[in-house]
Amino acid sequence: MKKLVVLTGAGISAESGIPTFRDSGGLWEGFRVEDVASPEGWQRNPALVLDFYNQRRKKALEVKPNRGHEILAELERHFTVVVVTQNVDNLHERAGSTHVIHLHGSLFESRSTKDERLVYPIEGWELNPGDACEQGSQLRPNIVWFGEQVPLMEVAAMHAQEADLFLVVGTSLVVYPAAGLINYVRYDTPKYVIDPNLPEVANRKFLKMIEEKASTGMEKIRQELLDLQ
Ligand code: NAD
């Protein structure tokens, strides 16, 4: 089977009812990213940060995957699909995708503030002040914040290099290093970008831009992808 690698961003979850980030003026649900998605914000006010992610987690549990997520999952019948997502929700998994790399971490995991190797699943939607790891340190969301290393970038880049087909769905391509993933893809690999507000992409050879929402854009290119399998 050919390998289809897909980079997704907040836009693929928009039709499920999770707002994107750039579309709301650079704020994340009304909060400045410096306050809720940075190590400095965590130092200043951990209770605010925990509550912010509790609300995001609660919302993520209330919504459902949309056609965009579903079509990607269905494509596993025809391709070896690797989804590299910047999203912290779990809608790809709930739609049935089996190989999902969460570049920016997951809402549904916590990790120790003392030893980052100590990662735990979060049951339900709450992580609170006082919730501690086995060594007694406060737990934080296992999210990659602005200014932090992206540990899974290397493995994502390896998949991008191996891609026979590469698809970008719903990302403004402004957050690095994730936005640079397309640069690892072989030059002659067909590449598609689906976004109602197309991002700037250099080197447009073998690149097809589809100015659509994730659901309709995925419907449109599904047959074209199947013809290339
Ligand atoms: P972004 O908010 O910067 O960009 C969203 C992109 O999605 C835009 O290009 C926009 O035009 C497009 N879009 C809007 N509606 C769409 C639709 N229906 N279908 C397809 N595309 C649509 O998002 P980003 O590039 O992913 O970067 C934001 C960062 O914020 C990420 O790192 C992510 O961790 C975080 N974030 C995550 C979520 C989530 O997990 N669902 C939501 C908001 C923000």
pLDDT in tens, 19-35: 897 777 767 788 999 99
For residue 178, give both structure tokens.
């994730």
**23 and 96 both lie in a single domain:** no
**pLDDT band at residue 15 under the 50/70/90 scheme:** very high
Helices (H) and strands (E) in the chain, counts: 7, 11
**49 and 129 both lie in a single domain:** yes
CB 152 within 8 A of CB 129: no
**58 and 131 both lie in a single domain:** yes
**42 and 13 both lie in a single domain:** no
**195 and 213 both lie in a single domain:** yes
Instruction: Give the range of the structural domain holding residue 124, as residue numbers without chain letter.
Output: 19-62+115-143
**9 and 119 both lie in a single domain:** no
| Ligand 1 atom with least separation from CA of 170 | 21
For the Cβ of 196 lying below 6 angstroms from any atom of ligand 1, the answer is yes
**45 and 28 both lie in a single domain:** yes
Residue 201 is predicted with a pLDDT of 82
Residue 80 burial (10 A CB sphere; 0-12, 13-18, 19+): middle
For residue 112, give both structure tokens.
């120790």
**Residue 139 lies inside a defined structural domain of this protein:** yes
Share of the chain above pLDDT 70, in %: 99
- Ligand 1 center to residue 9 CA distance, Å? 5
* Catalytic (active-site) positions: 104
For the Cβ of 86 lying below 6 angstroms from any atom of ligand 1, the answer is yes
Q: Which of 168, 169, 172, 200 is nearest to 185 (CA)?
A: 168
CB 172 within 8 A of CB 194: no
Amino acid at 165: L
**206 and 167 both lie in a single domain:** yes
For residue 109, give both structure tokens.
């995991």
**pLDDT band at residue 159 under the 50/70/90 scheme:** very high
Domain count, the chain: 2
**Residue 110 lies inside a defined structural domain of this protein:** no
